């Protein structure tokens, strides 16, 4: 019986993370390499020096660099101020959706935005504060760096084979047929069988969530479990974001 892989290289999992440095998903100014190799130029977005989606960072609250709270990246702080359009001190779902774009400037899909907001909305308020936004900032940076590694032509899309390579690197041993199913299911245009960054994040986070639920039942790590219908429903629904 084959050993079941649990995606130990998934960013933010209990296993090794990609090693991407803290930084901004939104801006093209800090594209560092990390363990996945260097990245050249802007990735399907505006020219170097301009933000990758959303308004130009500013200080609408009349703050300065010296006012940045401890533990918060100054650039993330500026972005939080810019994205917080109503100056509430929180980022709502709509504000987050306006800030996040793919390589072709299309906005992130609703499902991915909901997933991201729920992950960093620790107080379950339907919005995230500065500290949640700062954590989201670094999380997106890791995913963007990984996506770029496999989007070798910088088209803003990866195909089924590239997705398979990415998932294998994260520790998942999935069949080509299943990865093709994922690509078709999450493709922006199914006929093209390619996915963008938002769908890549959605696939990987949902795979990790479902795998965590499976691991709870697979106590001997065999890759197989016996489960009745209601237990399956309980497992699946309890893990929905």
Q: Look up residue 139 and give its two tokens.
A: 């999380």
pLDDT for the residue numbered 202: 94
pLDDT, average across residues 129-147: 90
Rounded to 5 degrees, φ, ψ at 223 are: 90, 5
Q: How many angstroms separate the CA atoms of 20 and 153, rounded?
A: 21
42 pLDDT band, cuts 50/70/90, is: very low
Do 135 and 11 form a contact (C-beta atoms < 8 A)?
no
Distance CA 26, CA 53 (A): 6
pLDDT score, position 32: 28
**Rounded to two decimals, what is the model's pTM?**
0.70
Q: Residue with structure tokens 């479990």?
A: 225
Please state, in angstroms and rounded to a whole number, the distance separating the CA atoms of residues 2 and 205.
24
- Range ranked top by mean pLDDT from 35-44, 125-134, 184-193: 125-134
Q: Is the CB of residue 75 less than 8 Å from the CB of residue 30?
A: yes
Domain segments of the chain as ranges: 34-238
The conformation of residue 54, written as its DSSP 8-state character, comes to S
Surface-to-core class of residue 4, CB atoms within 10 Å of its CB (0-12 exposed, 13-18 middle, 19+ buried) = middle
Torsion of CA 52, 127, 23, 36, to 10 degrees: -90
Please check the confidence at residue 27 and state whether its pLDDT lies above 50. no
90 and 46 in contact (C-beta within 8 Å)?
no
| Closest among 13, 163, 28, 135 to 72, alpha carbons compared | 135
Q: How far is CA 103 from the centre of its chain?
A: 14
**Higher-scoring residue by pLDDT: 49, 143:** 143
Q: Say yes or no to pLDDT of 234 above 90.
A: no
| Burial class of residue 68, CB neighbours in 10 A (0-12, 13-18, 19+) | middle
Task: Quote the pLDDT of residue 29.
Answer: 29
The predicted structure's pLDDT at residue 30: 28
Distance (Å, rounded) from C-alpha 239 to C-alpha 44?
Answer: 33
41-45, 62-66, 83-87, 210-214: segment of lowest average pLDDT: 41-45
Quote the percentage of the chain above a pLDDT of 70: 70
- CA distances for 71 relative to 20, 67, 74, angstroms: 18, 12, 9
pLDDT, tens digit, 9 for 90 and up, residues 162-198: 999 999 999 998 999 999 999 999 987 766 789 999 9
Q: How many Cα atoms sit within 13 Å of 148 on the Cβ side? A: 27
pLDDT at 22: 28
Pick the CATH number of 34-238 from 1.10.238.10, 3.40.50.2300, 1.10.150.120, 3.60.70.12: 1.10.238.10
Mean pLDDT calculated for residue range 44-51? 29
Q: What is the mean pLDDT of the chain?
A: 73
């Amino acid at each position: 019986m084959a050993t079941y892989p649990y995606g130990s290289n998934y960013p933010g999992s209990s296993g090794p993370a990609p090693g991407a440095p803290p930084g901004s998903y939104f801006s093209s100014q800090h594209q560092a390499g990390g363990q996945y190799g260097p990245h050249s130029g802007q990735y399907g977005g505006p020219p170097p020096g301009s933000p990758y989606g959303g308004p130009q960072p500013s200080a609408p609250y009349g703050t300065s660099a010296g006012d940045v709270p401890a533990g918060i990246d100054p650039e993330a702080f500026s972005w939080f101020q810019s994205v917080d359009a109503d100056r509430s001190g929180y980022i709502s779902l709509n504000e987050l959706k306006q800030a996040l774009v793919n390589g072709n400037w299309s906005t992130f899909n609703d499902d991915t935005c909901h997933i991201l907001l729920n992950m960093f909305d620790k107080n379950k308020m339907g919005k995230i504060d500065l500290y949640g936004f700062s954590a989201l900032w670094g999380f997106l940076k890791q995913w963007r760096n990984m996506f770029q590694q496999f989007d070798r032509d910088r088209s803003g899309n990866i195909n089924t084979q590239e997705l398979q390579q990415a998932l294998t690197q994260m520790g998942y041993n999935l069949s080509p047929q299943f990865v093709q199913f994922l690509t078709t299911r999450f493709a922006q245009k199914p006929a093209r069988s390619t996915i963008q960054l938002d769908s890549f994040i959605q696939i990987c986070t949902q795979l990790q969530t479902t795998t965590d639920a499976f691991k709870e039942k697979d106590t001997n790590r065999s890759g197989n479990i016996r489960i009745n219908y209601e237990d399956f429903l309980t497992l699946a629904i309890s893990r929905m974001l």
